[in-house]
């Protein structure tokens, strides 16, 4: 994840500005969605890894208890900016590398 400050709320953006680097808003949306999915998967792996320490082998209703550290970890991840906002921020600052697939036409 980037070290710069990413807003946690939605910001109105000009579609022409977002589409400028690719020349097409739909290509921009595909790039942003793929990057947002990458970010979400990385965060999910990280959270799952941290929460595995709290996993209890015995899952009976009597033995379920709240762990303060587990709650704090969950709250931390809930407060993080959404992956889509991080992807847009990275795209606007030029941190995302992307390339367009070239159509190869064979000459017969």
Read off the tokens for 92: 């606007």
Q: Using an 8 Å Cβ cutoff, are 108 and 29 in contact?
A: no
The answer, yes or no, to whether residue 8 has pLDDT greater than 80, is: no
Q: Rounded to an integer, what distance in angstroms lies between the CA atom of residue 94 and that of residue 88?
A: 10
> How confident is the model over 34-90, as pLDDT tens digits?
999 999 999 999 998 988 877 766 555 544 556 778 888 888 988 899 999 999 999
Comparing CA positions, the residue from 99, 95, 80 lying closest to residue 30 is 99
The pLDDT value given to residue 85: 92
Q: Using an 8 Å Cβ cutoff, are 14 and 92 in contact?
A: no
Model pTM score: 0.75
The answer, yes or no, to whether residue 2 has pLDDT greater than 50, is: no
């Amino acid at each position: 994840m980037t070290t710069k400050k990413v807003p946690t709320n939605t910001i109105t953006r000009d579609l022409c500005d977002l589409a400028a680097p690719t020349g097409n808003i739909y290509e921009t949306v595909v790039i942003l969605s793929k990057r947002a999915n990458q970010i979400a998967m990385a965060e999910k792996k990280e959270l799952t890894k941290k929460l595995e320490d709290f996993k209890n082998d015995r899952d009976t209703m009597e033995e379920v208890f709240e762990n303060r550290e587990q709650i704090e970890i969950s709250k931390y991840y809930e407060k993080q900016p959404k992956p889509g906002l991080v992807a847009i921020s990275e795209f606007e600052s030029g941190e995302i590398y992307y390339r367009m697939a070239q159509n190869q036409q064979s000459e017969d």
